[in-house]
């Protein structure tokens, strides 16, 4: 079964060795280059909760929601390798969050990460945006548990073997 999961078409899972065992990818032979990634998530609130948050300047009983989400997301970016087993520790050259209302009930969160290294930063961007969204939920759950997170997805990456999607 594992051997079937290792290869699909011309692609293979990079975190499995030839025997199908989990392994960290050896990036020593890869060239150092500028890598960047952009990930996004959404937090959808019940209408009354969104209205209350806006009326309170996006503050909850726990403090400033957006500022806290940015700080938590940034910390998550820097610690991704501690959370995702096969991620390499990376020097983070840049990390930027944007949080904007997409409509009356939906908060959009974006995380862009940049590093000069041998491996990409997609997981750092996805982890950062996920933790920022979770932080918003945590800070607002006293108002409602009907808050919904998602979708969370990679919008684009640059550097490495191929570029994917778009980055602002």
Residues involved in catalysis? 138
90 Cβ neighbours under 8 A, 6+ residues apart: 80, 81, 115, 117, 119, 121, 124
Dig out the tokens for 92 from the structure: 């983070």
Dig out the tokens for 105 from the structure: 């009930």
């Amino acid at each position: 079964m594992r051997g079937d999961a290792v290869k699909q078409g011309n692609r293979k899972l990079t975190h499995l060795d030839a025997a199908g065992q989990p392994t960290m990818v050896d990036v020593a032979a890869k060239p150092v280059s500028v890598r960047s990634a952009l990930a996004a998530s959404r937090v959808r609130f019940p209408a009354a909760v969104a209205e209350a948050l806006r009326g309170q300047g996006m503050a909850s009983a726990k403090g400033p929601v957006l500022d806290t989400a940015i700080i938590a997301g940034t910390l998550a970016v820097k610690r991704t390798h501690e959370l995702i087993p096969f991620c390499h520790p990376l020097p983070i050259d840049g990390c930027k969050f944007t949080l904007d209302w997409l409509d009356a009930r939906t908060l959009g969160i974006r995380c862009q990460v940049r590093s000069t290294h041998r491996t990409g930063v997609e997981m750092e961007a996805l982890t950062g945006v996920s933790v920022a969204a979770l932080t918003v939920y945590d800070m607002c759950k006293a108002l409602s548990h009907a808050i919904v997170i998602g979708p969370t997805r990679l919008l684009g990456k640059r550097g490495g073997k191929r570029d994917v999607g778009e980055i602002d």
